[in-house]
Chain A
């Protein structure tokens, strides 16, 4: 079983649509949760962190359910510029060589295409 699982899509939606992505993670010790966005042939960039209380950033809403080990991202009023791959990411504090470090594990991403 993959540590972070996402529906790879692709999701093809018209402008203005609402779209939701889901993600599950297997390690109950995970401590931090994120959504990253990756444009074609570019690097991942942080979209938003995800908190247990749920959080919103403009048109984007993220939810975390620790009991179910489930993370979601809702995009309202989709724009053409939202077309990208959305990566679900979980982090934990790992230990190696006598030091601790933040380790991120990425899902394979969900492809979103917003069309006119």
Chain B
């Protein structure tokens, strides 16, 4: 059974039109992460939640926001997508320690027209 689920798997949006990506987990992990991965590049951490505490990476643009209404769900909101935001968005969860495995969802591939 899938442990980290992302919806939709593919999202097409127009330049400047807000979009929301969702992630849910059945692992009851404390930490949920959002990564952005562009073609042939490493996944780049955007932000994470430890329980309800939200933490942005220093270089994450303000255009990206997140919400975590409960332990199981986390959302990525892109307020005004630009062409440069086209990427795979990966959600991951872990218990929170450096040595813990991060479990990734299948990703949402975002296309911006």
Task: Name the A residues within 8 Å of B90 (CB-CB).
Answer: 43-44
Q: Which of A14-22, A55-63, A72-80, A103-111 contacts B (4 or more CB under 8 A)?
A: A103-111
Q: A87-B42, A108-B40, A108-B42 are in contact. Are A101 and B104 (CB under 8 A)?
A: no
Range of interface residues on chain B? 20 to 34
Q: Does any Cβ of A come within 8 Å of B18's Cβ?
A: no
- Of chain A, the residue at the smallest CB distance from B40 is A108
Q: Does any Cβ of A come within 8 Å of B106's Cβ?
A: yes
Q: Would A44 and B43 count as touching, CB distance under 8 A?
A: yes
Q: Would A103 and B41 count as touching, CB distance under 8 A?
A: no
- Of chain B, the residue at the smallest CB distance from A98 is B53
Q: Would B50 and A101 count as touching, CB distance under 8 A?
A: yes
Interface residues as binary, A46-59 with B (CB distance below 8 Å gives 1, 0 otherwise)? 10010000000000
- Of chain A, the residue at the smallest CB distance from B42 is A106
Q: Does any Cβ of A come within 8 Å of B101's Cβ?
A: yes
Q: Does any Cβ of B come within 8 Å of A13's Cβ?
A: no
* CA distance in complex: A91, B48 (Å): 15
Not counting A43-B106, A93-B98, a sample of 4 additional A-B residue pairs whose C-beta atoms are within 8 angstroms of each other reads A41-B88, A49-B101, A102-B96, A105-B45
Interface CB pairs A-B, < 8 A, 6: A42-B106, A44-B90, A97-B55, A101-B31, A102-B94, A109-B40
Instruction: Mark B residues whose CB is within 8 Å of A.
Output: 31, 40-45, 48, 50-51, 53-55, 88, 90, 94, 96-102, 104-107, 109
Instruction: Mark A residues whose CB is within 8 Å of B.
Output: 4, 8, 31-32, 34, 41-46, 49, 87, 91-93, 96-109
